[in-house]
Structure 1
Amino acid sequence: MALIISQQDNTISLEGKLNTATVNNFQTHFGFIIKAFKNITLNIEKLTVIDDSAMQTLKEMYKNGVLNNAMFFIEGKRSEEIFEAFQYPQVA
C-alpha cells in the first residue's frame, strides 16, 4: 500500500507505509502545511511501516521545527517509539 496523506485543519493523518519510497512526498506535503500552521499534529495510527529512512527524516523535520519555532506532535500507537528516538536532539 502506498502512503495516504489526509489533512483536517492542523492534523495530518498517515496511512500505509512511510519508507524510502514515500518519505519525499510526505516531506513535501508537510512543508506546505507547516508554513500555514505553526503547530501540527501528525497521526500515525494507521501506518504499517516506518523504516529507518523515514525515522531519520522525521528526526530532521523535528529538529528543523524546533529551530524555526514550528512544532509538530505525534499521536498514535507507535508515537512513544518515535519520541524515544527523538530524545535530546542536538538542535543548536
Structure 2
Amino acid sequence: MALRIEDKDGLFEISGRVTSQNLGILRTYFQAILEKSEKLLVSIEKVTEMDSSAAHFFERFYREVASDNKIIHIIGRHNSNISKIMHTTKTDYILSTDRV
C-alpha cells in the first residue's frame, strides 16, 4: 500500500509503507503544518511497513520539533507491523502511550 496521510481534525494519520523513498514527502508535509501550528499529533497505527531509515527519521523529527519548543505526539505503540523495527532501532521511546 502506498503512503497516505489523512488529516482527521488535527490528527495526521499515516497509512501504508513508510520507507526511505518517501521520507522527503513526510518531512515537507509536516514542516508545513508546524509553520502554522505549535502542536503536531501523528498516528502511525495504520502503517503497514517501516524500514530503519523511517524509524530514525521519526526519531530525528521528534527531537527537532521538541528542540523548537513545539509539541509532537506520535501514536503507534500498539502497531505490530512496526514494533519490531522501532524496538531494534531503539526508537520506540518516541511513541506516545496514548491510543486513538
Normalised by the length of structure 2, the TM-score is: 0.74
Contact 1:20 1:51 in 2 (8 A): yes
SS in 1 for 2:58: helix
SS of the aligned residue for 1:29 comes to helix
TM-score, structure 1 length as denominator?
0.80
Structure 2 unaligned spans of 5+: 95-100
* C-alpha contact 1:17 1:49 (8 A) present in aligned 2: yes
Letter of the structure 2 residue corresponding to residue 4 of structure 1: R
1:75, CA displacement in angstroms? 1.4
Name the residue aligned to 1:17: 17
Structure 1 segments (4+ residues) deviating >6 Å: none
Unaligned runs of 5+ in 1: none
- Name the residue aligned to 1:54: 54
- State the partner residue of 1:27: 27
* Count of aligned pairs between the two proteins: 88
2:2 partner SS: coil
The alignment partner of 1:22 has SS state of helix
Is the partner of 1:41 in helix, strand or coil?
Answer: strand
Q: Distance in 1 between matches of 2:49 and 2:58?
A: 14
Q: Which amino acid aligns with 2:75?
A: E
Cα deviation, 1:3-55, whole Å, max 9, x if unaligned, reads 00111343110010111111111111011011112111111111011211111
The residue type equivalent to 2:49 in the other structure is V
Query: In structure 2, the residue corresponding to 1:47 is in which secondary structure?
Result: strand
How far off is 1:87 after superposition? 4.3
Could you say what the CA RMSD is over the residues aligned between the two structures, in angstroms? 2.4
